[in-house]
Each structure stands twice: as structure tokens, then as C-alpha cells.
Structure 1
Amino acid sequence: MRRTSARFTITAAAATALAATLALTGATGAGAAPDQQDVVAAAGPIGFGAGTTGGAGGATVTVTNASQFIAAVQRTDAVIVRVNGTISLSSMTKVASNKTVVGVGTAGRITGSGLNISEVSNVIIQNLTFTGSNDDAINVQYSSKVWIDHNDISGAYDGGVDIKRASTNITVSWNRCHDQDKNMLLGHSDSNSSEDTGKLKVTYDHNWFDGTNQRNPRVRFGNPVHVLNNYFGNVGSYGVAATENAGVLVEGNYFENTDDTYHLGEGSSDPGSLAAKNNHFVNSPAGQTGGSVAAIPYSYTADTASGVKSIVTAGAGVGKI
């Protein structure tokens, strides 16, 4: 089996334009009712997370500190939580079902620790800067209908976005990930097939893997998993790994300066299946494919791979919605 390299390449690049999915303007006080001019409905995610609505239809609350934030994201009703400022967390903070947690402009920041989406459904995490977590930036487990979109993720002690333990029907889109070693894990253990088989169905689309070292993503059991129209730039150890009966379609991505774009197996994990389609390579080789990947069960339109770098660097990250 292939062992993970110790190389870790970090790049810093600025994104510059607009990719509209949600518009938030004005300000709504804590506990106030939503205003149609303040919250404009998102177009919604594509892929497995389609239909995720978060806190739509509930109250809109603006928070500026950790105590307000924790109280808002743990309410039992549907809530749109607008984060205006830096929220410093000391431990992983659970987000309840039917929540949209969204940064205001470029001001929303989560630092110190991360968000735990556990045993819930219908959650949107959007337009937030995550930095310096003492654990994961975002952990998802035993949850469904989750949309992680247009965030900036860096410097987490463990994973950037880890999805595990029978979670499913999730879209991870338009995020910029940088200064991160273990980036996106899907399926935490080789021995968890009883929970994970038939689950872990995730769409990763239009993310900017900006010098992230490994796990972009690393997949167990999920079949199919769709890695669509992402930009891999200066990735250190490897891009995508399919292991332990996973089936991954790597489609329409732009790989640049990435020595190991995708492969089967990783570390002590057995090979899964991987199919590659219509990718674009710049100073990067085509990777390893094999096995059988289930058909993607939803309709979508893929961007032409050669244009993905410009599309993603213009639209991924915070302040681009």
C-alpha cells in the first residue's frame, strides 16, 4: 500500500470575484424575525446535499460573541444565525438541526475550536473563516442533509472537514482550504463498514484545494462520491484517495503542480474504486483508476475542466456569495 508522504506545500493566493448562491445585506438584531430584504434565499446546493434548507423560514439572529453564538446554534427551532465578528470557541460546539450559520460579509470568523454537526439534519455552514481549531474545523457524524459552502478553512489541528459515522446526503462546495495538512476525510475507520456501507454519499464541487497536503478527499465506503470541478493547486502529498470499498468519480477537475493526483488505497487501507473523467492536468500526471463506481444519481452540468481554475479561484471562499 502507498504511504502518505511527509511533504507539505503551502501556497497563498487571493480570490477575486463573485459566485452567487446567497445574498445577505443589512442587519437584523438578535432574536428578530427575518426580513425578506435581509435574507435572500440561496439557490441551494447541487448533488447529494440538494434540498438542504437550513434555518429557512425561522428567525434570524445576529451574533457577535461566543455566548450568543452557542445559544443561537443550539436552539431547537429553525434559525438563521448571522455571525458578525470573531467567535472564539474553546471546544467543538454542536450545531442543532435546521440551522443556517452564515458569516456577514467577510467578518464572520470561528477560531480556537470548530463546529460539531452530530446526530442532526438540515444544516448549512456558509461564508465563515475557520482558523486555528484545536480539533477539526468542521466535524459531521450521524447526520444528513448538510451543506458546507463558501468557507475559508485553515490551520485545524486535525481535519478541515471530516465526515464520518453513517453521515450522508452532503454537499461540500466553493470552499477555499489552505495551510492545512489533513484536509477532508470521508469515513473515519476501516472497521466501520457496518455503519457506513450505503452511506457517506457526498458531492465535493468547486472547492479550491490550495496547497493542502492530503485527503482532498480520502474516502472509505461511500459509493458513489462525486469530486466535481475542483481546483487542486500545489497539493503536497496527494489529491484524492479511494479506499475500503469506496467508489469515487473524479470529474472535470483542474490539477496543477500536483505530483499524485488520485490513487487507490492509502496507508494501511485497502484499495477502493475510482473512475476519472474529463480532468485537466498542468504539470500533474493522470492518476490511478480501477474498480466499479456506481452511477451518479442526480442531474448536473459539469464545467469544462480547463476553465475550472479561473472559475474556482474567482468564486471560492468567503465574501463570494
Structure 2
Amino acid sequence: MRTGTERGARPALAALVTAIGALLIGLLTAIPGASAATLFGDDFEGGDTAGWSRSGGSWSVVTDGSRALRQSGTSADARAIVGAGWTDQAVQARVKPISFNGTGRNVAVLARAQSTSAYYYLGLSNAGSVVLGVRNGGGLTTLASAGASVATGTWYTLRLEVFGTTLRGFVDGVQVVTATDPTFSSGRAGLAGHYAAASFDDVLVTDVGGPTGSPTPTPTVSVPPGTCATSGSPIGFASVNAWGRSGTTGGAGGPTVEVDTASELIAAIGQSGPLNICVRGMITVPAGMYNVASDKTIVGVGAGAGISGGGLNIGLPIDDAVTTPPANAVNNVIIRNLSFRNASDDSVNVQMFSHHIWIDHNDLASGYDGLIDIKRGSSYVTVSWNHLHNHTKNMLLGHDDGNGAQDIGRLKVTYHHNWFNATPQRNPRVRFGEPVHVFNNYYYYNTDVGVACQANAGCVVEGNYFDRAEEPVTNSYAGPAGRCVARNNVFVNESGQPDCSGTVQEPGSYYSYVLDDPNSVKSLVTAGAGVGKI
């Protein structure tokens, strides 16, 4: 069956297209924003590949249960594209991997294809993952990936949605990856076997809902007063007027929505425009990092809300060649009152010049990598009143000793009133940032190091309470030395002493703040840090 490119389709075939479109709508009712005006469909029952443009490989229609399009060679990068210059589109197909030639190969569906060498793709890789990426004339560039069991001889349904700069990938009806990328704004649909053989069937291209291609937002709900604190303002660097922003307001001015499923949450955080997102209950998401768009407040309802299994990514895809803040850097995001557990990577990651971010009153534990990592030129961030525990590699600020081109003059971050509870190291571990302001935090049983200031970073560490902290503050922990000023701190129960030298910019030249008496910090922070306290 073929529509969208073929004139004079017989009524029976047209009816079948409509039926498949209707079935798709039914299958996707759980996916926010799924809309189903059919743009193209092909089930290959006609026995030919008319309308398809092919490059590489060996393509033919075979019988594989029903008739299907087979790409049988594994020695080439094979692609087939079809259709018109669609803007916001969802490309879906049943895909059965047959064999792979080498490692890191994939079979994929394509969207916004400009040609057989320029497109977005969602693929099943023999590396044991689902990959979402872009190709623009050269090799494949991964934008996001998630672990998956990929077996040859098994049918999977892949669906790649593209709307605006947002990309979402689904496997068998479950969203597993998401990313943002501005490379292509429209194009055709397609299929690919990247040095891999596969069968493809039931190709269906539909539009993506909304007048501008954005997903249909979760309906606005009335949230009881006091249960979803969407108001509030940070102190510290997130409050500073810089980089074209005056402070951090998150979703202020936008609607308020409530989410309680993974698909609702992932769709909401990726929408464009200001939005207040109230998270109800502990939501388990598929493994991976999920992109947060600018102008979002994400806040838990009560003390039992959070995210398990994956994490939040605030920032554009990594690009080491970019050394100045891009105009489209993610900014103005607030994350509050959420518990994070068992993240497959970072619990919260801030990267690629993201700015004006406030991470406040969360409970973070038992992740795979960092609990809160801030890197690659990001700046004007406040991390406050969080309870961090049951985790070793706690927080990075700046990821690599050699990343000065992106980081020098940036990574301006305030950490205040956090409870570093038996977190051995990276509390935080700092590179290049100046000034990094660490004040009124409670450190308990940190068996390696508290604040490690290196790679010429400049840290002001003041008014903190160190309790059984082996090496509370140092600028000679590992790698190139930094600079630090430690003042007015309390050290008890066999805590070490600061190892600091050098001069550092004063945070007070950027913003106003008032120090709590460091002797009261333990009681203040243990009573006030974490969830259910705002």
C-alpha cells in the first residue's frame, strides 16, 4: 500500500490506509502529543519499491510473514528514502534486524531526510542500545542513546518523532530516548541498514499534533495550594543579571500541568515555552538522560515525588568545538522537591553553556555517575538545600583538566545549605570556575574530600559545618592546583583542616547574601534540606 506519492489509489487501498492510521491512533493514546493525519504508508503488498530512492545495499520486496522490504547486504551503508518535505513528522515502521557486519552497526528509521546522506535516525544497534542521532554528509553522530536488548530475527516497532527542534524515539510504544537538534527543519522519511541486513514493514508517516508541531500539552489542572511550590526565588549565582537574563524564574508566566507517568513527564519537560510541571508520585523512566527545555519549573508534589531509573539533562548536545555561549543555550530552569534514585547515568546534568539554573530542596542518592554535575561552560547556577547521600562520586563542577577553552571565566556556581551526608568525594570537585561559592553547608562523614578546588579554580568556602570530614577543603587534591579561601568554618569530630592558598574573587561582588552562624548550620540544614520542606 502506498499513499501520499501515488495518484488514483484504489478505494480499498485508501480505506486500508485510513484503518492503519486509526489503529495507530489507538496504539498511541498513551503517548502525549500523538496525532495521526496520515502523510504516507507502505506495507509493500504491491510487491515493488516504487517511489523509494535507494543508496547502497541490496533492496527488494520479499515474503517475511507478509510482504516486506528487505535490505539483504551487510557490506554497505544502505539507505532508502521516500515522500516529500514534511516538517513535523512521526516515522514508524516494523523492523527486524537480520545480521550485522562489525560492531556499532544499526538498523533504523529516518526522518527529515534531505538526501540519503543527511537525516535524523532512530536505530537498533548491535552494541545493545537504541541510538538517536543525526547524519549531515559525514558519519553518524549520536544525540542520545539508551540500553536495550537487540536480538536478530525479532520484530520491533520503531517510531521517530520530530517537531520543532525536539526528537523523540519510541521502541514498541515506549519512549526511550529524546534530544534536541536544529540541523534539519523538514525533509523526507526513510529506512536504513548501517552495515546491517534487516526487514522493514508497515511504514507509516503521520504528522505530529499541534498547530506548530509541538506535542499536545498535558491538560492544565488545578493543583491544591501548598502542594506544588511553583513560586520562589534563588539566592546566589542563579539570581544574577547576566547573559541576557535577570535571575531565574523557570516556568513563571506559563501554564501549570501535573504529570504522573514517564511519557507525560518526558513530553512536558521537552516542550518549548514556559511551563510549570508538578510531578506526582515516584515516576520510573527508561534508562537514559531526558532533555529539559528552557523556561521550566519542575517541582514535586508533597514529599513522595521523584524520578527513578533515569536522569535530567539540561543542555545542548556536547560539542567541544563550541567555546562561546550559543544563543540557543538552555536557560531558566528550576528543579525542586524531587527525589532522584537509581539513575542510569547522572541524576541531574547541566552542560554546554546552560545558565540560570536553580536546583533546590531535592533528595538525591544511589545514582550511577554524578548526582549533580555541572560542566562545559555552564554558569549562573545555584544548588541549595539538597540532601545528597548513599553515593560516592557526588558532584563535579567542570569535567576535565583540559577543558579550559569552554570553562575559563564561567562555571560560576553557588552551593548553600546542602547536606553532604556520607558522600566520600566530589562535594564538589571543582575545575576552572571562579568564584565558586560554598557556604553554610553541612558535611557529615566525608571519608575522602569535601571541597576539592583544582585546575586554577577559585573557591570561597565559608560558614560551613564539617563533621568527621577527613579533608574538608583543599586546592591540592589531584591534578593541577586551584585557589581557595576558607573562612569562618566549623571543624568537629576528627575533621581535618583546610589546605588552601591564593586569592579568589569575592562572591559578594556579584550578589548579596547573609551567612547563618556556622555553629547553627548542622541543625538548620538537617531540618530544612531535602524534599517536603518547601
Work out the CA distance in 2 between the residues paired with 1:60 and 1:295. Answer: 38
Is 1:115 the counterpart of 2:312? The answer is yes
505, 509, 514: which one aligns with 1:301: 514
Contact 2:476/2:499 (CA < 8 Å) preserved in 1? no
Work out the CA distance in 1 between the residues paired with 2:401 and 2:266. Answer: 33
Structure 1 counterpart of 2:435? 224
Give 1:183 deviation, angstroms: 0.6
Give 1:204 deviation, angstroms: 0.1
Give 1:33 deviation, angstroms: 6.5
Aligned pairs (5 A) from 1:24-43: 30-32=218-220, 37=225, 42-43=231-232
Where relative contact order (Cα < 8 A, 6+ residues apart) is larger, the structure is 1
Structure 2 counterpart of 1:237? 448
125, 128, 132: which one aligns with 2:335: 125
Give 1:239 deviation, angstroms: 0.3
469, 474, 493: which one aligns with 1:263: 474
Work out the CA distance in 2 between the residues paired with 1:153 and 1:40. Answer: 19
Moved more, 41-50 or 142-151: 41-50
Does the C-alpha gap of structure 1 residues 76 and 34 become closer, same or farther in structure 2, counting only changes over 3 Å?
Answer: farther
Is 1:313 the counterpart of 2:526? The answer is yes
Secondary structure, in 3 states, of the residue corresponding to 1:234? Answer: strand
Give 1:225 deviation, angstroms: 0.3
Secondary structure, in 3 states, of the residue corresponding to 2:525? Answer: helix
Contact 2:230/2:299 (CA < 8 Å) preserved in 1? no
Counting matched residue pairs gives 292
Contact 1:33/1:59 (CA < 8 Å) preserved in 2? no
1:9-38 deviation digits (Å, cap 9, x = unpaired): xxxxxxxxxxxxxxxxxxxx9421777956
Work out the CA distance in 2 between the residues paired with 1:311 and 1:42. Answer: 22
Structure 2 counterpart of 1:94? 291
Root-mean-square deviation (Å): 1.6
Give 1:299 deviation, angstroms: 1.1
Structure 1 counterpart of 2:264? 68
Work out the CA distance in 1 between the residues paired with 2:506 and 2:219. Answer: 44
Contact 2:393/2:426 (CA < 8 Å) preserved in 1? yes
Work out the CA distance in 2 between the residues paired with 1:190 and 1:35. Answer: 46
488, 502, 508: which one aligns with 1:278: 488
Secondary structure, in 3 states, of the residue corresponding to 2:446? Answer: coil
Structure 1 counterpart of 2:101? none
Work out the CA distance in 2 between the residues paired with 1:194 and 1:218. Answer: 19
1:266-286 deviation digits (Å, cap 9, x = unpaired): 33x211000001001112122
Work out the CA distance in 2 between the residues paired with 1:34 and 1:271. Answer: 52
Query: Greater Rg, structure 1 or structure 2?
Result: 2
Which residue identity lines up with residue 255 of structure 1 in the other structure? F
Which residue identity lines up with residue 47 of structure 1 in the other structure? G
Work out the CA distance in 2 between the residues paired with 1:40 and 1:239. Answer: 31
Give 1:85 deviation, angstroms: 1.4
Is 1:200 the counterpart of 2:411? The answer is yes
Contact 1:116/1:138 (CA < 8 Å) preserved in 2? yes
Structure 2 counterpart of 1:4? none
Is 1:55 the counterpart of 2:255? The answer is no
Structure 1 counterpart of 2:88? none
Give 1:106 deviation, angstroms: 1.2
Give 1:41 deviation, angstroms: 5.6
1:30-80 deviation digits (Å, cap 9, x = unpaired): 421777956666331111011211001101110001000011101101111
Secondary structure, in 3 states, of the residue corresponding to 2:437? Answer: strand
1:228-268 deviation digits (Å, cap 9, x = unpaired): 1000011121100000010000000000011111111333x
Give 1:108 deviation, angstroms: 1.1
Which residue identity lines up with residue 242 of structure 1 in the other structure? C
Structure 2 counterpart of 1:15? none
Is 1:171 the counterpart of 2:382? The answer is yes
Which residue identity lines up with residue 237 of structure 2 in the other structure? F
Which residue identity lines up with residue 481 of structure 2 in the other structure? P
Work out the CA distance in 2 between the residues paired with 1:168 and 1:77. Answer: 21
Structure 1 counterpart of 2:277? 81
Structure 1 counterpart of 2:368? 157
Structure 2 counterpart of 1:14? none
Contact 1:30/1:60 (CA < 8 Å) preserved in 2? no
Which residue identity lines up with residue 48 of structure 1 in the other structure? F
Secondary structure, in 3 states, of the residue corresponding to 1:257? Answer: strand
Looking at secondary structure, tell me which structure has more strand per residue.
2
Does the C-alpha gap of structure 1 residues 58 and 34 become closer, same or farther in structure 2, counting only changes over 3 Å?
Answer: farther
Contact 1:244/1:265 (CA < 8 Å) preserved in 2? no
Does the C-alpha gap of structure 1 residues 275 and 311 become closer, same or farther in structure 2, counting only changes over 3 Å?
Answer: same
1:206-229 deviation digits (Å, cap 9, x = unpaired): 000000010001000001000010
Structure 2 counterpart of 1:246? 457
Secondary structure, in 3 states, of the residue corresponding to 1:256? Answer: strand
Which residue identity lines up with residue 138 of structure 1 in the other structure? V
Which residue identity lines up with residue 106 of structure 1 in the other structure? A
Which residue identity lines up with residue 238 of structure 2 in the other structure? G
Moved more, 54-63 or 32-41: 32-41
What is the aligned-residue identity percentage? 51
